[in-house]
Chains A and B, each alone.
Chain A
Amino acid sequence: MATFQEFIQQNEDRDGVRFSWNVWPSSRLEATRMVVPVASLFTPLKERPDLPPIQYEPVLCSRATCRAVLNPLCQVDYRAKLWACNFCYQRNQFPPTYAGISEVNQPAELLPQFSTIEYVVQRGPQMPLNFLYVVDTCMEDDDLQALKESLQMSLSLLPPTALVGLITFGRMVQVHELGCEGISKSYVFRGTKDLSAKQLQEMLGLTKPAAAQAGRGPQQPQVPPSNRFLQPVQKIDMNLTDLLGELQRDPWPVTQGKRPLRSLGVALSIAVGLLECTFPNTGARIMAFIGGPATQGPGMVVGDELKTPIRSWHDIEKDNAKFMKKATKHYEALANRAAANGHIIDIYACALDQTGLLEMKCCTNHTGGYMVMADSFNTSLFKQTFQRVFTKDEQGSFKMAFAGTLEIKTSREIKISGAIGPCVSLNAKGPCVSENEIGTGGTSQWKICGLDPNTTLAFYFEVVNQHNAPIPQGGRGAIQYVTQYQHSSGQRRIRVTTVARNWADAQTQIQSIAASFDQEAAAILMARLAIYRAETEEGPDVLRWLDRQLIRLFMFHLRRSPFLQVFNNSPDESTYYRHQFMRQDLTQSLIMVQPILYAYSFNGPPEPVLLDSSSILPDRILLMDTFFQIVIYHGETVSQWRKAGYQDMPEYENFRHLLQAPVDDAQELLHTRFPMPRYIDTEHGGSQARFLLSKVNPSQTHNNMYAWGQESGAPILTDDVSLQVFMDHLKKLAVSSAA
């Protein structure tokens, strides 16, 4: 067996799973002593180009409470054509189609390398994809124009059979009827009044698609149901393009000192309602493009008086954000409705000021939607990000999946405490659900309306085996992840990942347990937990909790990160950062917590350097990737050279190359990252340099710089403690018994 390092890597590559512990303590008592719980980061749709889906359906355990999927860990009696469920030990008959099964003729799901396998469900109708654009019209003409172009462009990226719809809003909310000849029709709703799905259905004159009832017949050719508001792209491409082209800025006058009235809350509500009554449980994306905060109606986050600024963390702490609770409630309700129907809500918020992401976070977080924050629709950040939403894989399918549900089955010795990530609980109680909730708990099934290959959830487990009931040597605990989702091709698919880990007695095999610790995974898992608590509890308490729990360097950065620190961040920014953190995979998450810093100089090839102020040297170019930003920082000298224009002189071509190197690397990062990071090119003393300075470890500050001498690094003007100080304290604490 390889090292744990390799094992972990292999597991991640194959199954998209990383556990905090790869050998599990065999009793509950021991597990609680470990501080870091047994938990996993799981990426349900980990890209596996090498894994062709198999065209039949999984074989399920016949026990009603189990229904686990046949997997390589099951014991199979080839002669009797029986298999034993490794979770409930039920013995099951193979279905007739498996009649030819034998030790040499095994179905894929029994092969060990197929611990992760994907089935295609043949039954049921091929469901269309729905894309419902919800477009704010209260924005500057430039922005609106850019947005219109992006939207028009997006039409060409959609599959021809996808259904699209358009809702625009400003003071009013307009639901556009598509495909009208000679006249463009829209249904208009007042932005101050929420509507139930039923009311909406009546007002839009919609009846449930007849296909829902009639279409259950086996192979009845399914005409994708459509209605006046959601029509196939191929049919109304031109029409919609024109319609978008004619979109006007919200015509209602905005008087001096007022914000435009923006009915975002109702617009989203209508969008949700429209899909709810037309395409329940069918993959759909509501893509909201908003240029500012909701200022009226349900879901408003700020009044229309410009003199009252939108709430800040300060206000929230002082309980002075009068719209926040109501708005949050509104959006939460919407998010739950959308999630219940398997619909995704994406929010593209492009404004210099806050737009109320804090209140709306549920919409994206519960439905697996994207949250994108930018300064303007007229930036490449938005344009590229939006374009990247429609990225396709080799098969030409979108790298997105819809209306997923994820179910976890566990061995008897371990139970599920909960999940943290873009999901909602399906409230499926079962034998493997722990009473101890962490995150979204109390269930063994979650709904994940929107999935992409990076979507990663954290699952927390609890070892329930009692101390006095030792597990036999060599016993393994198994966990099965069953993810059902609608593929972007319209197929329903089921991906099953079954993993097993060894049990170990913590008293006798503490070494092996310690060796199996996955530091990175554990850090991220704990970070998620911390953020989850930060979202639900008061900030300082979380830090204190974290301080008590954590003993690692990593946490130094986490403590300072915007995920936990709200200082200097608006509530929206915090929300945005946390949103991303909660859904990205381990690698990306690590970057978020501890940005990567590369140094470029004439002294050698680019090298990663410490995220420390001492790394900031005049003759270096630094490239920092924080996930959200990519900063190229030219040291003082380099910057002077550049200003002097040396790079343009043939004799200094090497300097030109030096300048170009980080840019090329940055481009590479930019191209692969979603959402697109903010790209910052700055220099010593530049205003944008703050992005770098705020991240590095302030080992040199104005307080101690003279003590350290001036030969290297750059002082950071901060009162924050440096890693050195942090570590000193930590050591003191670790050895004292007070903790």
Chain B
Amino acid sequence: MNVNQQPHMASPYGQPQPGYQGYPQPGYGGGHVPSGYPAQYAPYNGPGSAYQQGPPQGMRGPPTSGAPPVSGAQSYSQFGQGETQNGPPPMGAPPQRPPVSQTYTPGAVNLSGPQPPFSQQFGAPPVSMQQMTNQMASMQVGSTAPSPAGPGYAPPSVSQAAMSAPYTPAAPPSFPPTSAAPSQPPPTEAVARPPPQSYYGAPPPAQQPFPNAVPPFSSTGPTQPQAPPPVSPQSFPQAPPVSQPPFSTAQVPPGPTQSYGGPLPPTQPSFSRPLLPTSQPSTFPAGPPPTSTPSQLPGVMQPQPPVSQPSPYHSGPHPTSTGFPPQVGAPPRPPFAGMQGPPMAPQGPPLASQGPPMVQANHVPPTQPGMPPGPISASMSGPPPQPGMQGYPPQQNGAFGQVRGPQPGYTGPYPGQPNYGAPPAAPAPAPPATKRLDPDSVPSPIQVIEDDKANKGSEPFTTGVRGQAPPLVTTKFQVKDQGNASPRYIRCTAYNMPCNSDMAKQSQVPLAAVIKPLAPLPPDETPPYLVDHGESGPIRCNRCKAYMCPYMQFIEGGRRFQCGFCSCVTEVPPHYFQHLDHTGKRVDCYDRPELSMGSYEFMATVDYCKNNKIPQPPAFIFLIDVSYNAVKNGMVGIVCQELKTLLDYLPRENPDVESNIRVGFVTYNKVLHFYNVKASLAQPQMMVVSDVADMFVPLLDGFLVNVSESRVVIESLLDQIPEMFADTRETETVFGPVIQAGLEALKAADCAGKLFVFHSSLPIAEAPGKLKNREDKKLVGTDKEKSLFQPQVSFYNTLAKECVVQGCCVDLFLFPNQYVDVATLGVVPTSTGGSIYKYTYFQASSDQERFLNDLRRDVQKPMGFDAVMRVRTSTGIRATDFFGSFYMSNTTDVELAGLDCDKTVTVEFRHDDKLSEETGALMQCAVLYTSCSGQRRLRIHNMAVNCCSQLADLYRNCETDTVINFFAKYAYRSVLSSPIKNVRDSLVNQCAQILACYRKNCASPSSAGQLILPECMKLLPVYLNCVLKSDVLQPGADISLDDRAYLRQLVSTMDVSESHVFFYPRLLPLQKLDVESISLPVAVRDSEERLSRGGVYLLENGLNIFLWVGVNAQQELLQNIFGTPAFGQIDPNMTSLPALDNPFSKRLREIIESVRAQRSRYMKLMVVKQEDKLELIFKHFLVEDKSNNGGASYVDFLCHMHKEIRQLLS
């Protein structure tokens, strides 16, 4: 596949280049680079600027005159979309199937190939494709989008016409035609309707509209590539789109139109939109408008819109996304405009006018290149008549939809694709088809992220509004606690829960919350207040024991309160009594955090303590492997050296006071060495315990000590440990007894605590928990594969249970040179709330920094001990499943021996009754823990979400990132019990069901061949694909079993932002770095196509940072970064960048530091030179591409998903 794809990819680029001007070229062709870059930049920047730039639009105003064309362009796009969407459906239906299979790979692949021939013919179509995408995007954005697409597309025919028009005639004309196409307008309207549906729910739509607008551009873009004429059209379209977005938003109300409107209204709306945009967004949010709008619009549009619109939206996403990428550029557009300006220039005045949009166009063009294929498909689908249209279909239908119409002609394209081509056979068409789905035409994560930043990043997020989805995790925002927990603590998959289980089952959308109880807050947010209810302890509901919270309703003048969870009425204790005001609120409501805040803490009384005894301050025990390997690789020396200073930074609650945490030290190989470091001793005492079969702690007094009191002895000890074992020849180690030792020590001291185990090898020495090497790669891919993730002995499960009872959290630092069976060693850490750190082939020189930073953070991070977490919910739903690093002895209490600020628990809810729309669904997460100073506390997080009886509301208020977090954890746990193939299949299946349900119940009717995605979930396919192709679920040959087990366990505690970047790494183009600005360059999508040979990119996924250097990177850039202008002189082994005295270098290092600071683990920097062998590793993280393991590319997967959905629908 890869091979095929790549070539194709290449070809598309190459081909397009000529036609498209460089866009593609930029990426590949070195020469083009300049232009290319701009182009790329343009897209990104473009969007930004576009968005931001009110003025530009204003500027556009003038273009507006040109507007008509613009509108036309839009219309095109819309049409195109519509067509594609429509097209595919119709087309697809019959033919699709066959193609389907083909569709995947072929779709994309072929596209490129065929392009040349088709391009001409289809030239237009491609555009349409883009448009489609754009629309899609718009759809999403506008929420309305979805619907519009459908209808819009209906017109596809029109669009096709348009398409064709653009091609043959001057772009402008073409546009007009499109616009002219009466159909178009209607579609737009129609579109409008649908959009309302999808969008209404979410205010975001408003934002989206912008993107939509952009898409149009992109769509236009496509046209551009086709020819000079197209250029102009493009420009136009772009312009409109740009304007549109705003407009769209504005129109949105008319909304649906947006997406649609984009197209249709373009002309008209375009104007209006610009004005409205901002306001619109807000309007959109309002549920009602949508409906109304739809109705309104429908009136006119209905016929057309319905069909095309919906589809477009949904499908739109893809297109939009594709479009979006450009759109993304949109903001930047202006710059791009400038950038691209030149290229565009040729295209024509229109461009100039729309300059900015053009920028997008530029992007578009590139997309277009891709588009050609797309168009093909599109043409396939809706446009059947119009070959060009097919371009679109390819996207969605890819293989599918198009089949029909396009088939004849298009089939070619597919065929073009090796696989698919076959059936259609139409070789000729194939070539033209080159209809590989344009990556730019599919929903772009980057676009979504940037949009969210633009729309939600500026104002604080207040938590008071029930059912409001927070900004994405990638957006920097401030939170104001107004009664619900901050999204930093709790994120839900759905902020509108289905009222009953039928709906929930139907939609298959997981209902889950990702809870990070001790999440750190940025300095500008207040940590939870500590509330003390006195000796009787926190006030709680008598029945369900929920803690006092804003959902408790005070009645009878304040003498009683009714529980919001179970409705039980409880007396208010006298000391807590307060009068109510006229609204029924307690007078002291705002004086008491527990009555007005989402998150706060209670002081726990002795009743909440183990054995009814105030807990002792916790202890940290360091257990260091001193076997041959550990000594030789330098670990022992480093740990001992570091501990000397690190011990001054033990967690403490009050910075002025010394930490209460006591420390103890153990070293071990085959036997254990305990150390007595009592302050009164002249020298440390070492106590060897060789009887590992029956572990015990040989001393009590002097093992756990206060650092400041025993400092001298401790330092003496830490100095001596490396010396003592410098000549060791002991290679065998034990592991079980090590943890037992720590556990026994804590037991003896009667306190909770944490063990830091530094371990190097598989524990093969005779002892409990002894392991054998069971590394057997032959099992991979078989039904027995799951056993590789299961512990090989049950010893550690039992041990983990004991640890939890004692509150003994275990953090494991591994330094393996070979298989160590992480799956088994990790049992205790993952059951006790601990972490695993793994430094394979540890070398002091290169890994020291990473290890030390991890260690420092791990030791210093705030944490609670001996924690129990309980999630209470409204009657009607119930927390049924929990994912994370903890132990559960019953079905409700999550027991965490240790809970640090990075640990996340994902909770799944299920209905056991009906929920009411009025009260919504409430959840309260209470964590009882011992603070690092030994105080027993309760941290309460409250969360209220809406309940809905309409599926559309559900889909409008989802958070894809959270859903993915849940899916990943679910799947990663399932591999323990099911064959991986089943796990993957069920994931795909569930995802398909979610989307199909949406399509069936929420999207306006459209041809079955259209892929329609809910706005909030338009990234679901791409992210899901990332999960599916992750190392755990689809391992490559080069990944070790240990790594997989490690990753599996790692993901189980990730919060949403970590899982997001882990599955979809952040890729920053450094050549676009503005050293003056504090903002980062806009990320690019994780695809090799996005990399420029002349660029330098930074990729991070939360575990690693890669600095990818293109072979043709500018010398100045290299000089700035590496201090050498020569590519060849860059040392690929460097782990940190040289500190050079130039602004770029400084800024870059700052960025790297800040990126590292965001992550819970220190990320080692790897420099990857293009075409170096290390690049393979790097490419693994380009998750939109096909992976070496056989993981599908984004586009292919999308096609596959579409196929699945269609199967479900049919």
Which residues of A pack against B, CB within 8 Å?
172, 174, 177, 180, 182-190, 193, 195, 202-205, 242, 246, 248, 251-253
CB of A203 within 8 A of CB of B696, answer no
> Is B717's beta carbon under 8 Å from chain A?
yes
Q: Quick check: A195 and B691 within 8 Å, CB to CB?
A: yes
Which of chain B's residues have a CB closer than 8 A to the CB of A203? 671, 690-691
- Say yes or no: B674 contacts A188, CB within 8 Å: yes
Let me know if B691 and A184 touch, CB within 8 A: no
Q: Are A246 and B687 in contact (CB under 8 A)?
A: no
Residues on B with beta carbons closer than 8 Å to the beta carbon of A174: 687, 698
Residues B686 and A183 in contact, CB atoms below 8 Å apart:
yes
**Given the complex, which residues of B lie within 8 Å of A251, measured CB to CB?**
699-702
Q: With contacts A172-B696, A190-B694 known, is A183 near B683, CB below 8 A?
A: yes
B717 touches A188 (CB 8 A): no
Further 18 A-B residue pairs, CB within 8 A, beyond A174-B698, A203-B671: A183-B683, A183-B685, A183-B720, A183-B724, A184-B683, A184-B684, A184-B685, A185-B673, A185-B687, A186-B687, A188-B687, A189-B689, A189-B690, A189-B691, A190-B696, A193-B694, A205-B690, A246-B685
Closest to A245 in B: B682
Within 8 Å of chain A (Cβ to Cβ): is B681? yes
Residues in A with CB closer than 8 Å to B687 are: 174, 185-188
Q: How far is the CB of B82 from chain A (nearest CB, A)?
A: 80
- Report chain B residues within 8 Å CB of A187: 687-690
Instruction: Return 11 A-B CB contacts under 8 Å, by A number.
Output: A184-B685, A186-B688, A187-B689, A188-B698, A188-B699, A189-B690, A190-B696, A203-B691, A251-B699, A251-B701, A251-B702
Which of chain A's residues have a CB closer than 8 A to the CB of B690? 187, 189, 202-205
Which B residues are CB-close (under 8 A) to A183?
Answer: 683-686, 716-717, 720, 724
Within 8 A of A (CB), among B664-698: 671, 673-674, 681-691, 694, 696, 698
Residues in A whose Cβ lies below 8 Å from that of B691:
189-190, 193, 195, 203
Does B716 lie within 8 Å of A186, measured CB to CB? no
A435 CA to B671 CA in the complex, in Å? 52
Q: What separation, in Å, do the CA atoms of A203 and B699 have in the docked complex?
A: 18
- Name the distance in Å between A175's Cβ and chain B's nearest Cβ: 8
**Hey, what's the 0/1 contact readout for B708-730 against A, CB within 8 Å counting as 1?**
00000000110010001000000
CB distance from B735 to the nearest CB of A (A): 18
Q: Which of B177-203 contact A (CB under 8 A)?
A: none
Interface size class of B (residues with CB under 8 A): 20 to 34
For chains A and B in complex, what number of residue pairs have CB atoms within 8 angstroms?
68
Separation of A253 and B724 alpha carbons in the complex (Å):
32
**Cβ 8 A contact of A185, one of B681, B688, B699:** B688
Q: Which residues of B contact A185 (CB under 8 A)?
A: 673, 685-688
Measured between beta carbons, the chain A residues less than 8 angstroms from B683 are 182-184
Measured between beta carbons, the chain A residues less than 8 angstroms from B716 are 182-183
User: Do B700 and A186 have beta carbons less than 8 Å apart?
Assistant: no
> Given the complex of chains A and B, what is the CA–CA distance between A204 and B700 in angstroms?
22
Q: How far is the CA of A185 from the CA of B675 in the complex (A)?
A: 9
**Bound complex: CA of A124 vs CA of B699, how far in Å?**
43
Name the distance in Å between B786's Cβ and chain A's nearest Cβ: 38
The CA of A481 and the CA of B700, in the complex, are separated in Å by: 54
Chain B interface (Cβ < 8 Å from any Cβ of A): 671, 673-674, 681-691, 694, 696, 698-702, 716-717, 720, 724
Q: Which residues of B contact A253 (CB under 8 A)?
A: 700
CB-CB under 8 A from A190, the residues of chain B are 691, 694, 696
Complex CA distance for A204 and B670, rounded to whole angstroms: 11
Bound-state CA distance A186–B694 (Å) is 18
Return the 5 tightest CB-CB contacts between A and B, nearest first.
Answer: A203-B690, A188-B698, A251-B701, A187-B688, A185-B686
Determine how close the nearest CB of chain A comes to the CB of B89; give it in whole angstroms: 76
A186→B717 CA distance, assembly (Å): 15
Which residues of the other chain, B, contact A188 by a CB distance below 8 angstroms? Answer: 674, 687-689, 698-699
Of A183, A246, A248, A252, the most chain B CB neighbours within 10 A belong to A183
Which chain A positions have C-beta within 8 A of B681? 246
Chain B: minimal CB distance from A298 (Å): 14
Q: Which residue of B lies closest to A202 (CB)?
A: B690
Q: State A174–B690 Cα separation when bound (angstroms).
A: 11
In the complex, are the beta carbons of A182 and B696 less than 8 A apart? no
- A252 / chain B contacts, CB cutoff of 8 Å: 700
| Chain B residues whose CB sits within 8 angstroms of the CB of A248 once the complex forms | 701
- Which residues in A have their C-beta under 8 angstroms from that of B689? 187-189
Chain A residues within 8 Å of B717, by CB: 183
Q: Which residue of A lies closest to B688 (CB)?
A: A187
Closest to A173 in B: B698
Task: Please indicate the chain B residues that have their CB under 8 angstroms from the CB of A205 in the complex.
Answer: 671, 690
Most B Cβ at <10 Å: residue of A185, A188, A252: A188
Q: Within the complex, what minimum Cβ distance (angstroms) separates A416 from chain B?
A: 45
A186-B696 in contact given A193-B691, A251-B701, A251-B702 (Cβ < 8 Å)? no
Question: Which residues of A are found within 8 Å of B700, using beta-carbon distances?
Answer: 251-253
* CA–CA, A190 and B700, complex, Å: 13
Residue ID in chain B nearest A203 by CB atoms:
B690
Determine which residue in B673, B699, B701 has the highest number of CB atoms from chain A within 10 A of its CB, and name it: B699
Neighbouring B residues of A189 by C-beta, 8 Å: 689-691
CB neighbours of B671 from chain A (8 A):
203, 205
Closest chain A residue to B700, Cβ basis: A251
Cα A473 to Cα B673 in complex, Å, equals: 76
Contact of B686 among A184, A202, A242, A246 (CB under 8 A): A184
Shortest CB distance A536–B (Å): 36
Please give me the residue from chain B that is nearest to A246 by CB atom.
B681
Q: Which chain B residues lie closer than 8 Å to A184 at the CB level?
A: 683-686
> In the bound complex, what is the Cα–Cα distance between A189 and B702 (angstroms)?
18
Chain B residues with CB under 8 Å of A177's CB are 688
Q: How far is B679's CA from A26's CA once the two chains are assembled, in angstroms?
A: 78
- Residues A186 and B685 in contact, CB atoms below 8 Å apart: yes
Q: Please name all residues of chain B whose beta carbon is closer than 8 Å to the beta carbon of A246 when the two chains form the complex.
A: 681-682, 685
**A184, B671: Cα distance in complex, Å:** 17
Residues of A contacting B688 in the complex (Cβ-Cβ under 8 angstroms): 177, 185-188
Nearest chain A residue, comparing its CB with the CB of B717:
A183
A656 to B366, CA, bound (A): 126
Interface centre among B674, B691, B694 (most CB of A within 10 A): B691
**B694 neighbours in A (Cβ, 8 Å):** 190, 193
Q: Which of A172, A180, A195 contacts B698 (CB 8 A)?
A: A172
**Distance (Å) between the CB of B669 and the closest chain A CB?**
11
| Bound: A189/B692 CA distance, A | 10
Q: Which residues of A contact B682 (CB under 8 A)?
A: 242, 246
Closest residue to A175 on the B side, CB-wise? B688
Q: Give A193 to B720 CA distance when docked, in angstroms.
A: 31
CA distance A202 to B716 in the complex (A): 29
**B65 CB to nearest A CB, Å:** 88
In the docked arrangement, what's the CA distance between A217 and B687, Å? 38
- In the complex, A204→B699 CA distance in Å? 18
With both beta carbons as reference points, the residue of chain A lying nearest to B687 in the complex is identified as A188
Bound CA–CA A188/B744 (angstroms): 15
Nearest-neighbor residue (CB-CB) of B686 within chain A: A185
A252–B701 Cα gap in the complex (Å)? 8
CA separation between A180 and B673, bound complex, in Å?
15
- For the complex, what is the distance from the CA of A70 to the CA of B400, rounded to whole Å? 115
Q: How far is the CA of A202 from the CA of B670 in the complex (A)?
A: 11
Bound-state Cα–Cα, A166 to B694, Å: 23
- A180 vs B696: C-alpha distance when bound (angstroms): 24
CA distance A185 to B671 in the complex (A): 13
Q: How far is the CA of A526 from the CA of B914 in the complex (A)?
A: 98
